[in-house]
């Protein structure tokens, strides 16, 4: 029981005792009761009140949200705010736009969120560049009419000289089926993937490049590399 309750109960008991004593005629006429007992009870209550006051002064009252709680209790610890649960990232599968040329006899799927730079349809060549929204990933495409041998721009050794780095994959079927694929990881932190198709006097080639710190985007979450490679082929 706290000091405040002790004081309140003592005052209540004193009032009841005084009323009872004053209501009994014999006691009321007794001077000992009137002048000694009742003042003594009042004095005891006053001493008790003084003790309660000192106790509460040394142990201040605690209030939370302006509501009286109790006397002499330690201040409650603040309620911790719950950590909000982060909203999970919703993965959306990327979309692609098919680019086709009857003149240069090819079709290829390009990421629809890449921006086009350059033209698509020309008479003697068919080049275009696509860049991602953050301009860190690129898809470059080149197509040419070729008389006899494959121009140096399209040969596999030119890719090695241009990008260097660590060769990740190579499948050279140029002599047998008229195509090759090659990829590398360069020291500047980029992946480079190339596929070339050379048939019937037409050379077509794309190079897909993106930074290694975006591997989750272009390889793990969705395999752009395989999608684009499989989509790039002759129309007939």
Same domain as 111, residue 64: no
DSSP annotation of 64 reads E
pLDDT tens digits, one per residue of 31-43: 666 566 667 767 7
CB proximity list for 92: less than 8 A, separation 6 or greater: none
Other Cβ atoms less than 10 A from the Cβ of 110: the count is 20
DSSP annotation of 125 reads B
Element (H, E) at 43: helix 38-58
User: What's the number of domains the chain is made of?
Assistant: 2
What are 13's two structure tokens?
């008991």
CB proximity list for 141: less than 8 A, separation 6 or greater: 99, 108, 126, 127, 128, 129, 130, 204, 205, 206
Burial of 150 (0-12, 13-18, 19+ CB in 10 A): middle
pLDDT (tens place) for every residue of the chain, 236 residues total: 555 666 667 676 667 676 666 666 556 566 666 566 667 767 776 776 666 656 554 555 444 444 444 444 555 666 777 788 877 666 789 999 999 999 999 999 999 999 988 655 444 567 899 999 999 999 999 999 998 889 999 999 999 999 989 999 999 999 889 999 999 999 999 999 999 999 999 999 999 999 999 999 999 999 999 999 999 999 98
Same domain as 142, residue 47: no
Distance (Å, whole) CA 32 – CA 15: 18
Residue 100 in domain: yes
Helices (H), 79-199: 156-163, 174-177
Same domain as 219, residue 172: yes
Q: Name the domain boundary from 55, 70, 85.
A: 70
Same domain as 202, residue 149: yes
Residue 78 in domain: no
């Amino acid at each position: 029981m706290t000091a405040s309750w002790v004081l309140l109960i003592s005052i209540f008991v004193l009032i009841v005792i005084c009323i009872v004593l004053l209501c009994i005629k014999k006691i009321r006429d007794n001077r000992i009761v009137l002048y000694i007992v009742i003042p003594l009870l009042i004095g005891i209550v006053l001493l008790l009140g003084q003790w309660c006051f000192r106790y509460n002064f040394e142990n201040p009252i605690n209030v939370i949200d302006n509501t009286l709680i109790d006397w002499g209790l330690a201040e409650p610890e603040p309620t911790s705010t719950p950590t909000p649960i982060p909203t999970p990232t919703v993965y959306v599968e990327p979309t692609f736009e098919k680019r086709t040329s009857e003149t240069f006899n090819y079709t290829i799927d390009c990421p629809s969120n890449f921006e086009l730079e350059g033209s698509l349809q020309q008479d003697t060549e068919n080049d275009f560049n696509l860049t991602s929204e953050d301009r860190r990933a690129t898809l470059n495409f080149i197509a040419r009419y070729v008389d006899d041998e494959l121009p140096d721009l399209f040969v596999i050794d030119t890719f090695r000289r241009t990008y260097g780095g660590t060769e990740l994959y190579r499948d050279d079927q140029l002599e047998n089926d008229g195509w090759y694929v090659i990829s590398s990881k360069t020291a500047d932190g980029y992946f480079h993937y190339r596929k070339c198709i050379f048939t019937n006097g037409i050379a077509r080639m794309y190079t897909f490049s993106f930074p290694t710190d975006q591997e989750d985007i272009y390889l793990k979450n969705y395999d752009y590399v395989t999608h684009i490679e499989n989509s790039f082929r002759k129309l007939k």
